[in-house]
A and B are shown apart, each in its own frame.
Chain A
Amino acid sequence: MTSLFRTGLPAFVMVAGLGFLAFLPLLAVWVDNIFLMDLFMRLMILSIAAVGLNLILGYGGMVSFGHAAYLVIGAYAVGIPAYYDIYNGFLQFAIAILAAATVALVTGAIALRTKGVYFIMITMAFAQMVYFTFVSIEEYGADDGLTINMRSEFAGLLDIEDNFTLYYFVLASLIAVLGLVYRIVHSRFGMVIAGAKGNERRMQAIGFPTYRYRLVCYVISGAICGYAGALLGNFTNFITPEMGDWVHSGELIFMVVLGGAGSLFGPVLGTAVFILLEEYLSRLTQYWHFPFGAMLILVVIFTRGGINGMFRWIGAKAGIGGRS
């Protein structure tokens, strides 16, 4: 359990957070505000994507500026079969994961030959290609987007047409993805990835083909985002290529960095702050982007390690948790 504490926040806070998410639907019914549930569903779905991005960005040091593309791929993996009246959820989610993984494999194989800012830009370029592909397919709505008439069907096992069921399906997915990333990071594979981030040349010198390890990591990350995209498609019932715009890739990076890159729960925390602040500020004023952007700049200038790093710092001062 000690390694959980390394995330900066005491583990019980995060467990309490997940507990809160589990009871939120009850709260939403109690205060008679079903919109709350929609808000938190979106939050959890984007959290899954952020956790997926964090796997390569935080743990692997690979800054992908194009992960929103995998969200779009996942969403269209639900949308396109639905367009042909195929609602089999097992099939749709399998397509989402496989398609995202395949695209990640091909683009990653090229992108990972580059380093630093070139990597940032080439991942962005590939995301733009995906974006323009969907924009130009007239059959599936192009710019105008695609409406999904019915959510995925899981052969009667699960009826996510019901919002409560979908909510808990998303929550379970989030926990499962967190568990998966935890296992990956603490495996031998994860150690190699972390080692390659710290000193790639040394890892190669002691005999690890770091390129292949990184590529596999990149593919897993893309697949997780593809899965999140499939959830997003089910949740919104309406998908557009615009979801893959580079601005959204930037927002994903921000969610990860805001919460603290390279910590298990950091991306969830970052996404929560991002989504809730966006919601709050946009109700306050139509010019909410300004304080939002200003906050972004201030976070970058003054806090290193995001909110989680801040907690870690406080924790270290108080002598709890913070064993970074």
Chain B
Amino acid sequence: MDWGLFLIQMLNGVQLGVLLFLLAAGLTLVFGIMDFVNLAHGSLYMMGAYFCATLVQLTDSFILGVILALPLTALLGYIVELIIVRTLYTHDHLDHVLATFGMILCFDTAVDFIWGPTGMAIPLPEFLDSHIDLFGGHTFPVFRILIICTGLAVAGFLYVMVVHTRIGMLIRAGASNRTMVMALGVDIGKLFALVFAVGAALAGLAGMLIAPITEASIGMGNEIIIVAFVVIIIGGIGSIKGAFVAAMLVGMIDTMGRSFLDQLLKLVMSSESAETSAPALSAMAIYILMAMVLTFRPQGLFPPKVR
């Protein structure tokens, strides 16, 4: 086996895991604290990518583009919460699914209208657009390492915020028992808006980080949002720690499955049937994992303690 390739795929798995974590962190908080199912979280991911693409064009600097696009995405999230999401908290999950589904249609069309139907590439500055050498003659893009580092930094930041600050304490309290937090006199409306805006910024950041690799395109969030939901269900709704562990697990299984499952299957079956079944199995792997987790631990791996 080629261990260099193995290492590269490991790193790719971590990179996907980190991106999923950025998406899932906001999703799981919004879900856990407000009990709100937000399918349109993927649209915020897309909007982040488009904001960043435009700002990079205007400023000629990727770093500046990201720094400016972050508050912009947070503001968009805040506005969306204020106008639409706020009125939906009292509705049931079915209504959330439908309304946010409508929001996806609106966002996708708005992007089509403003930026046109073709995608937007984000050019990288030279120091990011290079490769580092690994052993065995393999190379790995510097930018992907930056993604991993950013994601881990955000995870650390969120950990400190959630565990060691007053806001974080309220967020944890909200995830365990919303009514009690309200009864203790916390302005839950403000807390909700804040959490939604931060979640939007994190989703936007994920979009900004992936766009230089894949380019910003319409509907880019619609596939990954489903995977992000898989992540938070596996991790346990409302748990940042669960989201992180599950994101890494899903990122790793998905990447490794796609690259090595056919070789693994060849050990136990004929190479022909291995080659036909491997792509289907690897695409399904994360959903199988989720079904298994739900069967044996219906609340996910790290459910927040209730009451």
Question: Which residues of A are in contact with B by a Cβ distance under 8 Å?
Answer: 63, 65, 110, 113-114, 116-118, 120-122, 124-126, 128-129, 132-133, 135-138, 246-247, 250, 253-254, 257, 287-290, 292-297, 299-301
Contact = CB atoms under 8 A, between A and B. Distances in A.
A4 B113 CA distance: 45
A300 B88 contact: yes
A250 B101 contact: yes
B98 A296 contact: yes
Contact of B102 (A117, A247, A294): A294
A289 B117 CA distance: 14
B230 A125 contact: yes
Interface stretch (B2-10, B122-130, B208-216, B284-292): B284-292
Nearest to A128: B287
A293 B102 CA distance: 4
A221 B290 CA distance: 24
Contact of A118 (B226, B233, B288): B233
Given A110-B295, A116-B93, A301-B87, A121 B98 contact: no
A47 to B, nearest CB: 19
B294 A296 contact: no
4 closest cross-chain pairs (CB), A and B: A293-B105, A296-B102, A136-B280, A132-B283
Given A124-B226, A250-B101, A300-B95, 18 more contacts: A110-B294, A113-B295, A116-B93, A117-B31, A117-B237, A118-B294, A118-B298, A124-B229, A125-B230, A128-B287, A129-B287, A132-B283, A253-B98, A289-B108, A290-B110, A293-B101, A295-B102, A300-B88
B99 A297 contact: yes
Nearest to B93: A117
Interface of A is mostly: helix
A66 to B, nearest CB: 10
Contact of B105 (A122, A133, A253, A296): A296
Nearest to B99: A300
A248 B31 CA distance: 23
Contact of B106 (A124, A133, A136, A290): A290
A118 B299 CA distance: 9
A287 B229 contact: no
A254 B233 contact: no
From B112, B280, B288, name the one whose CB has the most chain A CB atoms within 10 angstroms: B280
Contact of B280 (A121, A137, A301): A137
Contact of A132 (B87, B97, B280): B280
Contacts of A65: 97
14 contacts: A63-B97, A110-B291, A124-B229, A133-B280, A138-B276, A250-B39, A253-B98, A257-B98, A289-B109, A290-B113, A292-B102, A293-B101, A300-B102, A301-B88
A122 B280 CA distance: 18
Contacts of A117: 31, 37, 93, 237
B103 interface: yes
A220 to B, nearest CB: 21
A144 to B, nearest CB: 15
B63 interface: no
Contacts of B104: 293
A129 B109 contact: no
A257 B102 CA distance: 13
Given A128-B226, A132-B284, A136-B280, A63 B93 contact: yes
